[in-house]
Amino acid sequence: MSDHDHTHDHDHPPHLAHHFDTPTQQFESGKLGMWVFLATEILMFGGLFCAYAVYRANNPDVFLYAHHSLNTKLGAINTVVLLASSFTMAWGVRAAQLGQKPLLVVMLALTFLGGCGFMGIKTVEYMDKWEHAHWVGPWNEYHPDHQADESHAEADFGPDAPPENGVLPEDHPAEGSSEAEAAPGMVDQSPAPTGVEQPDRATETAPAPQPDAVAARSPAEPALPQDRVSLIRPAANAPAGLRTEVVAGDDVPVAEAPYPSRETMTPLDRDRTHIFYQIYYLMTGLHGLHVLIGMGLIAWIGVRAFAGHFGPAYYTPVDLVGLYWHLVDLIWIFLFPLLYLIH
Amino acid sequence: MSSIPHNVSTDVYGREVKRQPGDNYLNHSKGIRSWLLTLDHKRIGIMYMIVVLSAFLLGGIFALMVRTELISPGAVLPVGDRAADGAMTDAGMDFYNHMFTLHGAVMVFMFIIPAIPAILGNLILPLMLGAKDVAFPRLNLLSWYCYMGGGALFVYVLGKGVLNAMFPEIGPFTPDFPGLSLFGWQLIPAFEFFGWWTEPGLAGFWGGGGLDTGWTFYTPYSTDTATAVTAAVLGAFILGFSSILTGVNFIATIHMLRAPGQGWYRLPLFLWALYATSIIQILATPVLAITLLLLIAERTLRVGIFDSSLGGDPVLFQHFFWFYSHPAVYIMILPAFGVISEVIAAFSRKHIFGYKFIAFSSVAIALLGFLVWGHHMFVSGQSPVTNAIFSLLTFSVAVPSAIKVFNWVTTMYKGAIRLDTPMLYAIGFLGMFLIGGLTGLFLGSLGTDVHLHDTYFIVAHFHFVMVGSMMFAFLAGMYYWWPKIFGKMYCEWAGRMGAVIVFIGFITTFYIQFVAGSQGMPRRYATYPEMFWTHHFVSTIGAYILGFGLFWVLGTWVHSLVKGRAAPANPWGHNSLEWHTNSPPPHENFAVTPQGSDPYHFDQWHYDPELDTYVLEPTEDQPAPAPGAPRTPTTA
Amino acid sequence: MLAILAQNDATLYLPAPDSTFAGEYDWVFYFIYYISVFFTLVITAAAVYFAVKYRRRADRTEGEHTSTHHTGLEMTWTIIPLIIVLAIFYFGFRNFMDMATPPGDAYKITVNSNRWNWTFIYPNGAITDTLYIPADRPVELTLTSADVIHSLFIPAFRAKKDAVPGRYNKMWFQANYDPDDDRIGPVLEGEGIDGEFTGLTLPLYCAEYCGQQHSQMLSTVVVLPVEQFRDAITQLAEPRGTPAEIGQRLTEIHGCAQCHAFEEADTAGTGPALYDLYGNPERSVQSDGTRREPTEEYIRESILYSGRSIVRGYRNEMPSFAGRLSDNEILAITEYFKSISTHYEGDLLEHLPGQEPAEDEGEGEQAAGETEPTEGDAPPAEEPEPADETVTEEPQ
Ligand code: HEA
Ligand code: HEA
Ligand code: CUA
Ligand SMILES: [Cu+2]
């Protein structure tokens, strides 16, 4: 805040907007605004981190298993690339403050190249996933709706798509035992909750009938008809977060065998494996989008720097874009271990 | 009163303002471009006012359709083929579902969230600070365009729904329909070749038309319905950005652009309220954004994060949604608190009581509001422990709200109260917020919520806090700042009359819904058992009265614009800085940067019966500048 | 409906309390209510009183300079509401814990929901679309959903719980039953079971928005004295009638008519009409234009994997019934479809006798048989006896 009156008469530095009193005030405002904006960015990613935490906590094995298909080496290289570009960005800001225009331009160019490198490597990774049918949505072999045998899918995944395609016959007894349709690869297009309409799971694990309820009543009260087992799948097979609701006496083993092996996966875990990929794509995709935006911004200030707009008196945009770029970097620093380095 | 020439405005010293072209922001420049590309916060505020009020009208029309359908249990609105027995047809029920969804979505995302911050906040906040503009005028304009973009998508959803209803043969109604479609229109007919494009992903992208998910977009229904969820969600997403930009702007402005002498504790309470609101906007809205993105991904790519049949968890969506939407209810009510603080002080002609408690209770509500979202999910199967924690935290929010109410009433004590229109709305607000807030206690309490959840009790609760409280405060603020904004007075008796009609209509519409709800009437019902007929009938009649009252209100405003007497600089004698400049303010707000002082210290303003306004007495150390010199002098 | 209006203990705000925890519920409700009324009245009265007493019309004097803050006062109205809300929390919490903890010996009913229909499955295999419960016995419901979220709401019991796909939420209640209650009337008429039954009929709603017919996803709870309940539910578990009749009953239980027309006069149009379907390819033109012969296989596939065969002009809306209908039940439903199709040549009566003996057994499985392992366990008809014995052996 300034303490002197603001009139229009006193000299106005060229970059000072009319409603600010001093360049410092303007610079501070911009910086504050940027920090606040970065807070919103962090919260936006925070939502995805929460989703990640929930699903990882509920399906630790799935995450452990699926992360093996990520290319840690490329991820690590990307981390280094991004860190280096953050460094050149910081150097660029310094150059702007000191009025070293050529250095600033070079540094911005290097940062931009870093962004290109990152996106390039990311593309290689994505292509690889695509080829192995580890892609997003139903184009993921673990997705219940995945269609490997359709013409377009063949074109998509190429002839070398994994033969198993996600469905292990022995885990999936045909749904109505006489039905050929229940064979691997068939898709039920209706939204099909994992719950009741999969009798295979219900019957596999249904606990013995429990006449317990009747037992405790007083003799005066007639018993109620009780004999049948309900259709409800035992809660042990329910999402892990819900296992608190286990029916009394339920002794169904939860898959805790040492992962990972496709063969030992429970059908439930296999159905969930695609979730890891979905989260992977959402997180890295949103992050990649931010990298692209950041690259656009860097290109923009690069051009302005080349035109000599910045100097010790005015370098706010460089500083703000720098902040943004560091945030993009920071988010990757979290993404990398969370996605690539699961133990 | 009658001695004042009709069209003469006076400055803060009661001297006539010689009107010249370009002397205020309204006529500063001309032409549509000077509005659409303006960076002036006041003009952006006016543009917001126009579109947000239109949205309100739209939402209100939906509300009246909802109420009309509910006037009797059978089919009322002429939709689809009529069943012989007057029972509701499938088409009729679909129509109803679209109506209440669009009503809720339009009202929440397009009216109530932007109403006070984006209209009144934009117009008044820099004036109150003694600043020339908000910190980032370009972002401010961008935020308006975001609003327009999001609003356009909503209008598209609505329009497509209407088209679909009228010409069912156009456009794909079902996601199974293959072919390339954009904006729901069939661009390329079904070729096998394009199968991959539509199946199973993008077909459901834009969906059909209309929206029938309820404003809460609960999965899996929202991932499943054939209506235009994606477009609507994208609209809400963009509207969210508009809200974020406003929040960023306000925070930076309040921090950086206060006038000299305007310390934090000299901020009018409206600014404290806006500050707290902005905190919520920037912290909660991004989470909504990511939630909506996930929902879009869910619909287009079937990623399954919220779909139990794909291994996901539908309740997670509710957590995400309410993590935003509960704080959002405080985005709605906090600015209203701010308005009420100003109005009650001004019309009691007394210093506000307990300034710091009111100021900090706003911030407390903003922060605590982040911890209570789970109270919307007490019966969704959350563990009892989680429920208990959320319930306890919910009650903690009630306490700062209570503090405010008590402080307002104490402010009135021994005041010199004038019952002008804004004050009538403010008193109405007190009563309605009491009822709305206290019924929140029924809902926050675990046991009682089980029965009341998703009944009309909830509907009544949130209309009391959103319509009875927030909308009343909005109207109070509109009337209160109207003279400043447009430089015209409104017709006082008509304003009061409007307040009375709106009040009566409101109570009739919504009080009885508490009774219906606690008797068991579930919400979002197109038809209902006959035992609730009386309740609904009364409610519908009330809604018509309320609708009439609001049109009356609109009438008073139009009348003021056309025929209103020119407004003086400070008709109410409030001391916050926006009253230290002419009405309407000049382009850059103040000719001379004003000095901040205690905004609730009214003594230096004296009533001038001749002019029917409050004027500053020039004093020894603050002589009035020569007439004709800068229009707005500095005050100590 | 009239009976509901004439309830005994209904108050202005709440319907008559018909479950054990409803009494406490009402108490908590009115506890909060009176606190609210008190504060509303006192504060509004103060505001209005001040507004009248200190009102200025013509003269525009300033308000009195009373103090602008008073920490003691502020603390008072911070702490008093705090104490009050803590009390409210406590009572609400206690009430909720009652609602959340079913006693171990509750009678367990499974509730399956789909758009827009409730299915209640009793431990003995009976399936109904009305919830029959024994009086004065704790009943525990396990809820789930086949499609979107629904919520089972019984206002008279003050009970509500969401039915979430993929989750198994539990709720419980114990119905009060007063034989002198004038709301009690004859029930279970038209169900085709022997005996006269009287019970208390109460409304049951779906409280979570679930789409088009959310407002018609209504049912009723019927509270029966325990003996009558046992009798009724045992009989309901027994199959009755021809396969076609059983099939018809199954379509009623599962609410097929919500979406499908079963005769020409029906207006339901969410899904394709089912009369004249069997053997009539006009009815089964697919969305891709192909024709499928509406055979047993087609019907079966449409029931179990509804998304695979979408009839032209309709949306893929139907939930899968895999796991909810046994093979035998699907056979019965197919028989019913045949019986309402003019394209079905065979004489139904001639068709049956040859299978008469097998048919009886089949029926036994049809209504009851849900899961493989238990299907052979015990014929439902024999259940009551062992159950009775259990009780007589029981001490206390
Ligand atoms: C402006 C919006 C607004 C505001 C301010 C509030 C305020 C509050 N709300 Fe409300 N609420 C909504 C909008 C709002 N709500 C909406 C839109 C929904 C439904 C959404 C949907 O499902 O569609 C909802 C739903 C809702 C629920 C979920 C119900 C359910 O679905 O089952 C709950 C539960 O706890 C709740 C509680 C509260 C509480 C405790 C407050 C408190 O902040 C109120 C505090 C105020 C007071 C307590 C009054 C003042 C106090 C005194 C004068 C002193 C005396 C006080 C005491 C003795 C404590 N609200
Ligand atoms: C700000 C929010 C807001 C506002 C103002 C309103 C206003 C009204 N609402 Fe709404 N309502 C919601 C938010 C709001 N509502 C939400 C969030 C839901 C939940 C939706 C869901 O379940 O998903 C809901 C649901 C809802 C229902 C329940 C539907 C159901 O569950 O089945 C009902 C039923 O009566 C209803 C009625 C009304 C009525 C009669 C008004 C009246 O007050 C409307 C009167 C307004 C007018 C008639 C317009 C007048 C406007 C002008 C003339 C324009 C210019 C204006 C001025 C100059 C002032 N609303
Ligand atoms: Cu089922 Cu609403
Ligand atoms: Cu809330």
Using the predicted structure, report yes or no on whether residue C210 has a pLDDT greater than 70. yes
Nearest CA to ligand 3 atom 1: C150
Tokens 């010409």 belong to B167
| Average confidence (pLDDT) over B422-451 | 94
pLDDT value at residue C357: 39
Which two tokens mark C51? 């507004």
Using the predicted structure, report yes or no on whether residue C378 has a pLDDT greater than 80. no
If contacts are CB pairs under 8 Å, which of residues 203-242 in chain B contact chain A?
Answer: 220, 223-224
Cβ proximity of B612 and B567 under 8 Å: no
Q: Dihedrals φ, ψ of A161, to 5°?
A: -65, 145
Q: Do B412 and C54 touch (CB under 8 A)?
A: yes
Which two tokens mark B21? 């072209």
Give the CB-side neighbour count of residue B50, counting CA atoms within 13 A.
9
Cα–Cα distances (Å) from C83 to A83, B71, B362, B406, C87, in that order, read 53, 42, 21, 16, 6
Mapped onto helix, strand or coil, the DSSP state of residue B470 is: helix
pLDDT value at residue C105: 82
pLDDT band at B501 (very low <50, low <70, confident <90, very high): very high
pTM metric for this prediction: 0.83
Q: Do B313 and A47 touch (CB under 8 A)?
A: no
Averaged pLDDT of chain B: 85
How many residue contacts between A and C have a Cβ separation below 8 Å? 194
pLDDT value at residue A173: 35
Cβ proximity of B135 and A29 under 8 Å: yes
Which two tokens mark C346? 């065979």
pLDDT band at C342 (very low <50, low <70, confident <90, very high): confident
CA dist., res. C81 & res. B131, Å (int)? 39
Residues of B in contact with C162 (CB under 8 A): 379-381
pLDDT value at residue A243: 33
Which two tokens mark C288? 């891709």
Chains sharing 3 or more CB pairs under 8 A with chain C: A, B
SS3 content of chain A, % helix, strand, coil (to 5): 60, 0, 40
The residue among B441, B515, B606 with the most chain C CBs within 10 A of its CB, best to mutate, is B441
If contacts are CB pairs under 8 Å, which of residues 325-364 in chain C contact chain A?
Answer: 327
C120 touches chain A (CB under 8 A): no
| Average confidence (pLDDT) over B537-542 | 96
If contacts are CB pairs under 8 Å, which of residues 9-48 in chain C contact chain B?
Answer: 10, 12-15, 24-25, 28-29, 32-33, 35-36, 39-40, 43-44, 46-48
B397 Cβ below 6 A of ligand 1:
yes
pLDDT value at residue A275: 82
CA dist., res. C309 & res. C293, Å (int)? 11
Q: What is the pLDDT of residues C270-297, one digit of tens each?
A: 788 888 888 787 777 887 777 777 877 7
Cβ-proximal residues to C354 (8 Å cutoff; 6+ apart), any chain: none
**Pairwise pLDDT comparison (A225 vs B278), residue with the higher score:** B278
Distance from CA of B41 to the nearest CA of C (A): 33
CA torsion angle B72 B77 B83 B84 (round to 10): 70
Helix or strand run (H / E) with residue C142: strand C138-145
Cβ-proximal residues to B346 (8 Å cutoff; 6+ apart), any chain: B422, B480, B572, B573, B574
Using the predicted structure, report yes or no on whether residue A328 has a pLDDT greater than 80. yes
Percent of chain B predicted with pLDDT > 70: 88
Q: What is the pLDDT of residues C247-271, one digit of tens each?
A: 888 888 788 887 888 888 777 777 8
Nearest to B334 by CA among B375, B365, B376, B370: B365
Which two tokens mark B237? 């997403």
B439 Cβ below 6 A of ligand 1:
no
Q: Do B220 and C148 touch (CB under 8 A)?
A: yes
Mapped onto helix, strand or coil, the DSSP state of residue A228 is: coil
Q: Dihedrals φ, ψ of A164, to 5°?
A: -65, -35
Nearest to B408 by CA among B495, B471, B327, B346: B346
DSSP state of B111: I
Using the predicted structure, report yes or no on whether residue C371 has a pLDDT greater than 50. no
**Pairwise pLDDT comparison (C104 vs B633), residue with the higher score:** C104
CB burial string B391-415: b at 16+ within 10 A, e below: bbbbbbbbbbbbbbbbbbbbbbbbb
pLDDT band at B212 (very low <50, low <70, confident <90, very high): confident
Give the CB-side neighbour count of residue A211, counting CA atoms within 13 A.
14
Amino acid identity of residue B444, one-letter, is G
Cα B234 from chain centroid (whole Å) = 20
Amino acid identity of residue B141, one-letter, is L
Tell me whether residue C360 is exposed, middle or buried, using C-beta atoms within 10 angstroms of its C-beta: 0 to 12, 13 to 18, 19 or more. Answer: exposed
Which two tokens mark C1? 């409906």
Strand C131-134 relative to strand C127-128: parallel, antiparallel, unpaired? unpaired
Using the predicted structure, report yes or no on whether residue B175 has a pLDDT greater than 70. no
B100 Cβ below 6 A of ligand 2:
yes
Alpha carbon of B374 to ligand 1 centroid (Å)? 13
**Pairwise pLDDT comparison (C183 vs C317), residue with the higher score:** C183
Q: What is the pLDDT of residues B448-462, one digit of tens each?
A: 999 999 999 999 999
Q: Dihedrals φ, ψ of C165, to 5°?
A: -60, 135
Of all atoms in ligand 2, which is nearest to the CA of residue B542?
Answer: 40
Q: What is the pLDDT of residues A282-292, one digit of tens each?
A: 899 999 999 99
Using the predicted structure, report yes or no on whether residue B472 has a pLDDT greater than 70. yes
pLDDT band at B166 (very low <50, low <70, confident <90, very high): low
Percent of chain A predicted with pLDDT > 90: 25
Q: How many helices (H) and strands (E) does chain B have?
A: 19, 6
SS3 content of chain B, % helix, strand, coil (to 5): 60, 5, 35
pLDDT value at residue A72: 84
Give the CB-side neighbour count of residue A50, counting CA atoms within 13 A.
16
The Cα angle at residue A12 between residues A10 and A18, in degrees rounded to 5: 105
| Average confidence (pLDDT) over C64-87 | 85
Using the predicted structure, report yes or no on whether residue C389 has a pLDDT greater than 50. no
Nearest CA to ligand 2 atom 2: B107
pLDDT band at C211 (very low <50, low <70, confident <90, very high): confident
Residues near ion ligand 4 (CB < 5 Å) are: B 326
CA dist., res. B546 & res. B543, Å (int)? 5
Strand C131-134 relative to strand C219-224: parallel, antiparallel, unpaired? parallel
Nearest CA to ligand 1 atom 13: B462
pLDDT value at residue B68: 93
Using the predicted structure, report yes or no on whether residue B523 has a pLDDT greater than 60. yes
Nearest CA to ligand 2 atom 21: B214
CA torsion angle C159 C162 C166 C168 (round to 10): -10
pLDDT band at B246 (very low <50, low <70, confident <90, very high): very high
If contacts are CB pairs under 8 Å, which of residues 81-120 in chain C contact chain B?
Answer: 81-82, 85-86, 88-89, 91-100
Kindly provide the ipTM of the predicted complex, given to two decimals: 0.84
Amino acid identity of residue C356, one-letter, is E
pLDDT value at residue B634: 41
Q: Which of A38-42, B87-91, B161-165 is predicted most confidently?
A: A38-42
CA dist., res. B589 & res. B129, Å (int)? 11
Q: What is the pLDDT of residues C12-44, one digit of tens each?
A: 889 888 898 888 999 999 999 999 999 999 999
SS3 content of chain C, % helix, strand, coil (to 5): 40, 20, 40
Among B200, B257, B312, beta carbon nearest to A145: B200
**Pairwise pLDDT comparison (A267 vs B282), residue with the higher score:** B282
**Lowest-pLDDT choice from A12-16, B115-119, B439-443, B461-465:** A12-16
Distance from CA of C147 to the nearest CA of A (A): 7
pLDDT value at residue C8: 52
Strand partners, C185: C199
Q: What is the pLDDT of residues B79-96, one digit of tens each?
A: 766 666 777 888 888 889
Helix or strand run (H / E) with residue C170: strand C169-174
